[in-house]
Amino acid sequence: MADRPEGSAAKGDNRPKLSLHVPEPKFRPGDTVDFSHIDVPEAGSMARPDETCNPAEMRDMAYGLVRVLGEDDQAHGPWDPKLDPDTLRAMLGHMAMTRAFDERMFRGQRQGKTSFYMKCTGEEATSVSASMALAADDMVFPSYRQQGILIQRGYPMIEMINQIYSNKGDKLKGRQLPIMYSSREHSFFTISGNLATQTPQAVGWAMASAIKGDSRIAATWVGEGSTAEGDFHSACTFATVYNAPVILNVVNNQWAISSFSGFAGAERTTFAARALGYGLAGLRVDGNDPLACYAAEQWAANRARANAGPTLIEFFTYRAEGHSTSDDPSGYRSAQERSEWPLGDPVMRLKNHLIAIGEWDEERQEKMDLEAAEHVKKVTKEAEANGILGHGLHHPFRTMFEDVFEELPWHLKEQSAQAIRERETKFPGGLDL
Ligand X SMILES: Cc1ncc(C[n+]2csc(CCOP(=O)(O)OP(=O)(O)O)c2C)c(N)n1
Q: Which residues bind ligand X (CB under 6 A)?
A: 145, 193-195, 223-226, 251, 253, 255-257, 319, 323
**Farthest-apart Cα atoms in the chain, separation:** 85
* Rounded distance between C-alpha atoms, residue 284 and residue 62, angstroms: 5
CB-based closest residue to Mg ion: 223
**Residue 2 Cβ vs ligand X, minimum distance, rounded to whole Å:** 49
Q: How many CB atoms neighbour CB 92 within 10 A?
A: 23
Interacting residues of 391 by C-beta distance below 8 A, sequence separation 6+: none
Residue 321 CB, shortest distance to ligand X, in Å, is 11
Distance in Å, CB of 249 to Mg ion, minimum: 12
Whole-number Å distance between alpha carbons of 80 and 69: 8
Which one, 54 or 326, has the nearer CB to ligand X?
326
Q: Burial letters for 140-154: b for 16+ Cβ neighbours within 10 Å, e otherwise?
A: bbbbbbbbbbbbbbe
The alpha carbon dihedral of 248, 252, 255, 257 has a sign of negative
Distance CA(70)–CA(289), nearest Å, equals 9
Q: How far is the CB of 148 from ligand X (least distance, A)?
A: 13
CA atoms within 13 A on the CB side of 326: 7
Q: CB count, 10 Å around CB of 397? A: 17
253 binds Mg ion (CB under 5 A): yes
Residue 173 Cβ, how far from Mg ion at the closest point, in Å?
30
- For 324, phi then psi, to 5°, come to -155, 180
> Least separation, in Å, of the C-beta of 312 and Mg ion?
16
Kindly tell me which residue out of 256, 295, 304, 350 binds Mg ion, with binding defined by CB under 5 A. 256
Q: How far apart are the first and last CA of the chain?
A: 78
**Which of 121, 167 has the CB closer to ligand X?**
121
Which helix or strand (DSSP H or E) is residue 156 part of?
A: none
Q: How many angstroms separate the Cα of 323 from the Cα of each of 101, 106, 256, 286?
A: 16, 12, 7, 21
The smaller minimum CB distance to ligand X, of residues 216 and 323, is found at 323
Between 226 and 380, CB nearer to ligand X: 226
User: Does residue 299 contact residue 283 with C-beta atoms inside 8 Å?
Assistant: yes
Of these partners, Mg ion, ligand X, none, which one is at the site of residue 195 (CB under 5 to 8 Å by kind)? ligand X
CB hemisphere CA count around 402 (13 angstroms): 8
The rounded distance, in Å, linking the Cα atoms of 148 and 363 is 24
Beta strands 8-10; 13-16: pairing state: antiparallel
Separation of alpha carbons 9 and 285, rounded Å: 44
Q: Is 148 in the site for Mg ion (CB under 5 A)?
A: no
Q: Which is nearer to Mg ion, 73 or 327 (CB)?
A: 327
The distance of closest approach from Cβ of residue 123 to ligand X in the complex, given in angstroms and rounded to an integer, is 8
Work out whether 121 is an interface residue with Mg ion (CB under 5 A). no
* 323 touches 329 (CB < 8 A): yes
By the rule CB under 5 A, 223 interacts with Mg ion: yes
CB of 224 to ligand X, least distance (A): 5
Which of the choices ligand X, Mg ion, none does residue 394 contact, using the CB cut-off of 5 to 8 A by kind?
none
- Residue 298, interface with Mg ion (CB under 5 A)? no
Nearer to ligand X, 323 or 351 (CB): 323
- Do residues 145 and 223 make contact, with C-beta atoms less than 8 angstroms apart? yes
Output the residue with the shortest Cβ distance to ligand X.
223
Q: Which is nearer to ligand X, 207 or 251 (CB)?
A: 251
Distances (CA, A) of 417 to 300, 420, 426, 430: 52, 5, 14, 17
> CB-wise, 194 or 425, nearer to Mg ion?
194
CB 196, min distance to ligand X, A: 7
Closest approach, Cβ 62 to ligand X, in A, equals 19
Instruction: Give 256 or 295: the residue with its C-beta nearer to Mg ion.
Output: 256
Kindly write out the interface string for residues 404-433 of this chain, putting x where it contacts Mg ion by CB under 5 A and - elsewhere.
------------------------------
227 belongs to the binding site for Mg ion (CB under 5 A): no
Nearer to ligand X, 165 or 260 (CB): 260
Distance CA 207, CA 212 (A): 9
- Residue 199 as a binder of Mg ion (CB under 5 A): the answer is no
What 3-state class would DSSP assign to 421? Answer: helix
Q: Choosing among Mg ion, ligand X, none, which partner's interface includes residue 177 (Cβ < 5 to 8 Å by kind)?
A: none
Give which of Mg ion, ligand X, none residue 193 binds (C-beta under 5 to 8 Å, depending on kind).
Answer: ligand X
The one segment of 17-25, 39-47, 252-260, 298-306 that binds Mg ion by CB under 5 A: 252-260
Residues in contact with Mg ion by the rule CB under 5 A: 223-225, 253, 256
